Amino acid sequence: MKKITLILAFSFIASISTAQEKEMATPTPNYRQAAKYSPKNLGKLVHSTTVRPNWLENGNRFWYQYKTTEGSSYYIVDADTRTKAKLFDNAKMAKWLSEITKDPYEAKHLPRFDFEFVDNETAIRFRVTANEEVPVIEKEEKKNTEKENTKETDSSKTTKTTPKKKPKMEKKVYYLEYKLGGNGLKIINNEKEDKKSKPWANVSPDSTIVLFSKNYNLYWMDKENFKKALEDEKDTTIVEHQWTKDGEEHFSYGGDFGNLDNIEKEKKKNDRKPVWGVWSHDSKKFVFQRTDSRHIKDLWVINTTASGRPTLETYKYHMAGEQEFYKSSLIVFDIPSKEITNIKLDTTVQQSIAVYRHQYKKSDKSKHKPSLLLSKKGAIYFHTISRDRKRLDIHVADAQTGEVKTLINEHSNVYIENNGPITLFNNESEILHWSERDGWGHLYLYDTKGNLKKQVTTGEFHVEEIKGIDEKTQSVYFSANGVDKKIDPYYEHLYRINLNGTGLKSLNPGDYNTNTDLSDSNSYFVSNFSRVNTTPKSELRNSNGSVVMQLEEADLSQLMATGYRFPEPFKMKADDGITDIYGVMYKPFDFDETKKYPLVQYVYPGPQTEAVNKSFSVGMDKTDRLAQVGFIVVTLGNRGGHPARSKWYHTYGYGNLRDYGLSDKKYVAEQLADKHHFIDIEKVGIFGHSGGGFMSTAAMLVYPDFFKAAVSSAGNHDNTIYNSWWSETHHGIKEETEADGSIKYKYAIDKNQSLAKNLKGHLMLVTGDIDNNVHPGGTIRMANELIKSNKRFDFMLMPGQRHGFGSMNEYFFWLTADYFSKHLLGVENTEIDVIEMNRDIPQNR
């Protein structure tokens, strides 16, 4: 009898629970709440969240600007003396500027300054523009005035005067100096900043020669003629010298049209254009990578919103699986002799090439910073990566002879991850190289003959970046993920280790994600730290990890006053039941646990990254802000995603680039619904951009009974017409040798449109019509197959927009909100006007 009673009791409780779930209401769309967190409004609520140090040359000092709800302040920090002071008093600065410019200034509303430290860094100089208008002194007029002032005049002669024209007017500029600790400003002059540069000019390190491209060939001019070009680049007395004569379109020496349409290209075809390359430190050599893309097929977009006729834009675009490939070579131009040396490479091999470059010191504030070779001794260090991305070889070339020696070989059965340049140190006798050869990203020490001396770091963690090398202590500073197994493996921290592999030390430990900036001396670093659910803070630490001083804490007071709530990080299991998956949940700020909320996933599949924030961020459009409409929005990783974990995790999707992450997205959603009663697992939406557009559509087609609605923007649905780098790298391409010894490349990848017949839910496809990254043809092909399969779906073209949608991003947000509101909340917005956009725009026209 007791047994029967107990069963009845449990049945009664279960029926009540089921009844309660049935009664849980779906939230009403809250557009007003979402509108509060537009990018424009957030700019009023949240200001600085990190300290970005501007390191100075003298001592371990830096200055920075930090903005709060009280305005911007400027600080100077001396780490050695542990002092922090305001660079100047805002109220006094406002007073001095008001007195000098006759414009009103206020302490809280000073302009953003661009400082230049002078006089052994004891003073700062900067420019401000006043409202007062003064006549423009044209360059020619200035020259003539100077001539008139220098030549003798004869008062007895009658002079003919030319009628004066009404002068052009411009706002007056003040170039000012402030002595640190002083009590006033000094006017240096009223001249505008003379940038002394031209976008086409590649000026040598010693400024004696300028290289540029013209009519597909390499040209040069000397310093004196470049001075003329700075004054007037159409000056007919400028002497320029042609260095090469075999350049042609798509096999040229420099020249870059950018995103110009064919009409603009024709107009500018005879203009001087930039030539990109790398200089030797002594200015005697110039290393240029010449690429032959004549055989690469063209791609086109048409700008129908251009003024006048729609314009055609033609560009070279290599698609995955095409047999042709870019043919690259390295050429050395000797500046004194004008001789040309070809680096001895097999240009018939399909590979990419990159020359390693010198990194300037952070305290180097020189305005002229040409790209320099990594080696100060003139050797050319570079790497080659095979077409199938399974082989990376590091070489050194002799700039005089062109002879090449291979130093390091990296081979893998999946793609090689190339994570930054090699580092030369100890008088260029040793190399520090990053590799995943043991399954994790680690540092390896070589001599410059290519002999492995030591694996410096080891273990189940990922080295991200070399931050500095201390040759005195023979130690290296680097950032890494996953060292501390008790915290999120994506959290990045700074570490130090001896080059012999001993003495690993965490320098800024804690359950936070950090971003660090190390001084040139390696003695101090600024550490910015937060999680998605904490207020960002900044501190200064020394090379032993000790806190020197607290710098700043972000002012979130106005944001919190709006009702903002931090999101919630979570950890679940992947579809294998073993791998940990990390994500973040975003709730409506008026969250009501008695309601049943649709679940919406924002996705980007990687593999170069995952769309999961680890630090506090105000980039809310895809997460916090959409949640305010009435959804639980989540972001989460997936096997085959982020490279900051093991190589196994990162390359999990190799060979299955369409479907590899979908089972994890589905399984984690089910786990979240099991854990949280307020999630409605029968109403799951998904959206993403670019790779996320591709993934969200794939989710609708691979799991058509699970995902109910998707907004897929700028998606590479058909990777056979996407760029070869992304899909050939992360999906793979087979390199096969034919009977005659020739190499053939075979590529096969699943396309979204092949599953068009599976669509059951609601799908919106969106693309920009001049997207020259992910071509709109991918989206159109998807639409074509859906039509052939007799499917209803939605399609939106963003006129005149490239990959990022530019000025139409806000419109796109409300398009997304409308779509999920209609299909997941059951409320369709039928207003013609997007009221949430119009509300903040003065209707005064």
Tokens linked to 761 = 């839910």
Per-residue pLDDT for 637 more than 50?
yes
Per-residue pLDDT for 150 more than 60?
no
Per-residue pLDDT for 155 more than 50?
no
Per-residue pLDDT for 157 more than 60?
no
Q: Read off the pLDDT band of 10 (50, 70, 90).
A: very low
Q: What average pLDDT does the structure give for the chain? A: 93
- Listed in sequence order, the residues at least 6 apart from 396 whose beta carbon sits closer than 8 Å to its beta carbon are 379, 380, 381, 382, 404, 405, 407, 448
Q: Which of 432, 436, 427 is nearest to 468 (CA)?
A: 432
What is the spatial distance between Cα 550 and Cα 506, in angstroms, rounded to a whole number? 19
Looking at residue 606, its pLDDT comes to 83
User: Does residue 607 have a cis bond before it (omega within 30 degrees)?
Assistant: yes
Q: Which of 253, 244, 256, 264 is nearest to 292 (CA)?
A: 253
Per-residue pLDDT for 360 more than 60?
yes
Residue position matching structure tokens 């990022």: 804
Per-residue pLDDT for 20 more than 70?
no
Q: How far is CA 473 from CA 62, 445, 543, 572, in A?
A: 24, 15, 12, 42
Give the largest CA-CA distance in the chain.
135
Residues 186-194: what's their mean pLDDT? Answer: 92
Looking at residue 756, its pLDDT comes to 98
Q: How far is CA 38 from CA 32, 565, 689, 798, in A?
A: 11, 16, 19, 20
Give per-residue burial for 138-165: e unless 16+ CB within 10 Å, then b: eeeeeeeeeeeeeeeeeeeeeeeeeeee
Per-residue pLDDT for 3 more than 50?
no
Classify strands 632-636 and 597-602 as parallel, antiparallel or unpaired: parallel
Tokens linked to 521 = 């001396």
CATH architecture of the domain covering 567-838:
3-Layer(aba) Sandwich (3.40)
What is the spatial distance between Cα 286 and Cα 278, in angstroms, rounded to a whole number? 6
- Listed in sequence order, the residues at least 6 apart from 170 whose beta carbon sits closer than 8 Å to its beta carbon are 133, 134, 135, 136
Tokens linked to 62 = 């830096």
What is residue 257's three-state secondary structure? coil
Looking at residue 195, its pLDDT comes to 73
Residues 438-447: what's their mean pLDDT? Answer: 98
Looking at residue 259, its pLDDT comes to 84
Q: Which of 551, 686, 438 is nearest to 83 (CA)?
A: 551
Residues 66, 52 contacting (CB under 8 angstroms): no
Please provide residue 39's backbone torsions phi and psi, each rounded to the nearest 5 degrees: -55, -40
Per-residue pLDDT for 409 more than 80?
yes
Residue position matching structure tokens 């690993």: 504
Q: Read off the pLDDT band of 160 (50, 70, 90).
A: low
Q: Please, what sign has the CA dihedral across residues 833, 835, 841, 843?
A: positive
Q: What is the pTM for the complete model shown?
A: 0.93
Q: Read off the pLDDT band of 11 (50, 70, 90).
A: very low
Per-residue pLDDT for 196 more than 90?
no
Give per-residue burial for 685-699: e unless 16+ CB within 10 Å, then b: bbbbbbbbbbbbbbb
Question: What are the beta bridge partners of residue 446?
Answer: 431, 452
Residues 466-474: what's their mean pLDDT? Answer: 97
DSSP string, 297-339: PEEEEEETTSSSS-EEEEEE-PBTT-S---EEEEEEEETTT--
Residues 32-38: what's their mean pLDDT? Answer: 95
Q: Please, what sign has the CA dihedral across residues 801, 804, 810, 812?
A: positive
Classify strands 380-386 and 278-279 as parallel, antiparallel or unpaired: unpaired
Residues 631-647: what's their mean pLDDT? Answer: 96
Tokens linked to 96 = 């001095």
Q: How many CB atoms lie within 10 A of CB 774?
A: 27
What DSSP character marks residue 753?
Answer: G
Rounded to the nearest 10 degrees, the angle between the axes of helix 691-702 and helix 662-675 is 70
| Amino acid at the residue 467 | K
Q: Which of 488, 722, 518, 521 is nearest to 615 (CA)?
A: 488
The ranges assigned to domains in the chain are 47-138+168-196, 567-838
DSSP E strands in 112-195: the ranges are 116-118, 123-135, 169-179, 186-189
* Long-range contacts, stretch 719-722, CB < 8 angstroms, 24+ apart: 719/320, 719/657, 719/658, 719/694, 719/749, 719/751, 720/319, 720/320, 720/321, 720/747, 720/749, 720/751, 721/319, 721/775, 721/777, 721/778, 721/781, 722/319, 722/320, 722/774, 722/775, 722/778
Residues 536, 528 contacting (CB under 8 angstroms): yes
Per-residue pLDDT for 144 more than 70?
no
Q: Read off the pLDDT band of 9 (50, 70, 90).
A: very low
Per-residue pLDDT for 464 more than 70?
yes
Q: How far is CA 369 from CA 331, 425, 463, 572, in A?
A: 22, 21, 29, 48
Residues 591-595: what's their mean pLDDT? Answer: 96
Q: Which of 278-282, 386-390, 416-420, 774-778 has the lowest mean pLDDT?
A: 416-420
What is the spatial distance between Cα 782 and Cα 653, in angstroms, rounded to a whole number? 22
Residues 178-193: what's their mean pLDDT? Answer: 95
Per-residue pLDDT for 141 more than 80?
no
Please provide residue 189's backbone torsions phi and psi, each rounded to the nearest 5 degrees: -165, -175
What is residue 16's three-state secondary structure? helix
Q: Read off the pLDDT band of 12 (50, 70, 90).
A: very low
What is the spatial distance between Cα 179 and Cα 100, in angstroms, rounded to a whole number? 16
Per-residue pLDDT for 35 more than 60?
yes
- % of residues, the chain, pLDDT over 70: 94
Looking at residue 13, its pLDDT comes to 41
- Listed in sequence order, the residues at least 6 apart from 488 whose beta carbon sits closer than 8 Å to its beta carbon are 511, 513, 569, 571, 582, 614
Q: How far is CA 3 from CA 6, 9, 11, 13, in A?
A: 5, 10, 12, 16
Per-residue pLDDT for 14 more than 50?
no
Please provide residue 288's backbone torsions phi and psi, each rounded to the nearest 5 degrees: -125, 135
Angle at 719 between CA 715 and CA 723, to 5 degrees: 95
Q: Which of 420, 803, 414, 461 is nearest to 640 (CA)?
A: 414
Q: What is the pLDDT of residues 70-99, one digit of tens each?
A: 999 999 999 999 999 999 999 999 999 999
